[in-house]
Homo-oligomer: A and B are copies of this chain.
Amino acid sequence: METTVADKRTTILATTLDLIAENGFHGTPMSQVAKRSGVSAGIIYHYFESKDDLIEALYRDIKARWSAAIMAGTPEALPYPEHLQQIWLNAYRFYVAHPQETVFLEQYENSPYPHDWSNVAQDDNMARLFALIQSDIDAGYIRALPLPVLHELTLGVAIGLAKHQINGVLDLDEAALEQTADACRRAIERETYD
A residues with CB within 8 A of B:
22-27, 103, 106-107, 110-112, 143, 145-146, 148-149, 151-153, 156-157, 160-161, 164, 169-170, 172, 176, 179-180, 183-184, 186-188
Contact = CB atoms under 8 A, between A and B. Distances in A.
Identify which of A27, A169, A180 gathers the most chain B CB atoms within 10 Å of its CB: A180
B179 A183 contact: no
Nearest to A20: B112
A188 B148 CA distance: 20
Contacts of A157: 152-153, 156-157
A188 B160 CA distance: 15
Given A23-B112, A107-B110, 17 more contacts: A24-B111, A24-B112, A25-B26, A26-B26, A103-B110, A107-B111, A148-B161, A148-B164, A148-B169, A149-B172, A149-B183, A151-B160, A152-B160, A153-B183, A156-B157, A160-B160, A186-B187
Contacts of A186: 186-187
A161 B170 contact: no
A160 B164 contact: no
Given A149-B170, A152-B157, A157-B157, A110 B112 contact: no
Given A22-B112, A179-B145, A184-B187, A161 B152 contact: yes
A22 B143 CA distance: 35
Nearest to A146: B170
Nearest to A184: B187
A169 B120 CA distance: 15
Contacts of A161: 148-149, 152
Contacts of A156: 156-157, 160
Nearest to A169: B148
Contacts of A152: 157, 160-161, 164
A151 B160 CA distance: 9
